[in-house]
Amino acid sequence: MVANLALARQSAPTPAPAPVAAPDFAAIKTRQQATWSSGDYAVIGTTLQIIGESLCEALDLRANQRVLDVAAGNGNVSLAAARRFADVTASDYVPALLERAKERAFADRLPITFEVADAENLPFPDGSFDVVASSLGAMFTPDHARTASEMLRVCRSGGKIGLASWTPDGFIGELFKTIGRHVPPPAGLKSPALWGTRSHLIELFGPASADIAVQTREFTFRYRSPEHWIEVFRTKYGPVLKAFDALDAAGKASLAADLEALIARFNRATDGTMVAPAVYLETVIVKR
């Protein structure tokens, strides 16, 4: 009898894993919109201006080109393109961020059109832009394929798509992982850092592209101290702010300790300040 039971156990089929439910993109997007509306991302975004400038140079941007900045945030690419006398439209689904971009454009006397728009459902005709760009913005949309499809749709044939995206193993990619250990993302949701990998970009854009050129670059976070960076990010940067808000006192202390350890891994300053290089992928895609 014992032998028969053992045999039965060995021959019994292994239960199939439970199917993973498809992410509820609409619900996730609503949460993300609230996340990016919290804090004051523009305080951090303005420090990243050099990334937008570099992307416009990589795109070999020309005066009078029609440029769409997708998920423009506080307008780093938009301002950089307008400085090169392009015809620029800045779009984002967070009105408050566009307001900060408007303030910057007004201060610099740069003509930019601003439009509240969802990167996954752009309100523009097919082929209406020579250049479609996004610096650290499109990568955060929940439906990667939909966003890529929309960027391709509104770009003319022979036009360019430019992207700047944090890589999975760089400082900000590791920040996402650290947050995820404390506040797990929705099941089935792809990591935004996949946009910082060539293989994922080929999957998203390859079939409709004549060329995909990538360049690994570094942006260096420079803050008064590691504690200063944590304070700024936990009060101004939506994803970190919301992660702290979701935790109890012990969880907050644990997350803060993990952030301190993360900074220690990347910080190359020895004078008490923070100088942490963060790798990102700069990509230029030529549409067929």
What would the pLDDT profile of 14-51 be if each residue is shown by its tens digit? 565 555 567 898 899 899 999 999 999 999 999 999 99
DSSP 210: E
Q: What is the structure's pLDDT at 16?
A: 59
Calpha distance 260→221 (Å, rounded): 14
Q: What is the structure's pLDDT at 9?
A: 45
Specify the 3-state DSSP secondary structure of 152.
helix
Does the pLDDT at position 245 exceed 70? Answer: yes
| Strand bridging mode 209-223 / 274-287 | antiparallel
The secondary structure element, H or E, covering residue 43 is helix 41-45
Using the structure block, give the residue that is written with the tokens 């601003």: 114
Which residue, 140, 189, 145, 181, is CA-closest to 21?
189
Specify the 3-state DSSP secondary structure of 287.
strand
pLDDT above 90: percentage of residues in the chain:
89
How many CB atoms within 10 Å of residue 132? Answer: 30
Q: In the numeric block, which tokens belong to residue 6?
A: 């053992």
Burial class (CB in 10 A: 0-12, 13-18, 19+), 225: middle
The stretch 231-259 carries a mean pLDDT of 98
Q: How far is CA 98 from the centre of its chain?
A: 16
Q: What is the structure's pLDDT at 22?
A: 77
Interval 174-196: pLDDT, tens: 999 999 999 999 888 999 999 99
Q: What is the structure's pLDDT at 20?
A: 57
pTM of the predicted protein model: 0.91
**2.40.50.180, 3.30.70.2860, 3.40.50.10860, 3.40.50.150: CATH of 33-222+278-287:** 3.40.50.150
Q: What is the strand order of the sheet 112-116 is part of?
A: 112-116, 87-92, 66-69, 129-135, 155-166, 274-287, 209-223
How many CB atoms within 10 Å of residue 129? Answer: 25
How many CB atoms within 10 Å of residue 94? Answer: 22
Q: In the numeric block, which tokens belong to residue 208?
A: 């409709």
Does the pLDDT at position 211 exceed 70? Answer: yes
